Structure 1
Amino acid sequence: MGEVINLRRARKQRARAEASARAEQNRQLFGRTAAEKTRDAAEHAQIEATLDGARLETRESGKPVQ
């Protein structure tokens, strides 16, 4: 006679294995290193500073000119 297995436990193990495989695939597709995130944040900050420096404002109200 074969080994008795708990079907609930087997389903959970299979679901965990599938979730783990999907997570690994997503890490490869979408994951970024800390260095990449830091570089992108610095680049974004530099672009924002450039845009803010080029913004035209009136002297009286301080509101942007359109």
Structure 2
Amino acid sequence: MAEIINLRRARKQKARAEADKTAEQNRISFGLSKAERSLAEAERAKSARHVDGHRLGGEDKDPEPA
């Protein structure tokens, strides 16, 4: 004989599991200390300056859209 399940409880359990999964992703994405955030921002700025410094064409910063 099949096991009887409570659909309401199963639905709530599924919603909790999805919320936990989203929370874990947010902890990974946004769980950085202020020092880590500022270091990452400084690295992004440095790489952007590096790429802009090697751009051909001189004055225009953004290439024309294709």
Above 0.5 in TM-score?
no
- Structure with the bigger RCO (C-alpha within 8 Å, sep 6+) is 2
TM-score by length of 1: 0.43
In terms of Rg, which structure is larger? 1
TM-score by length of 2: 0.43
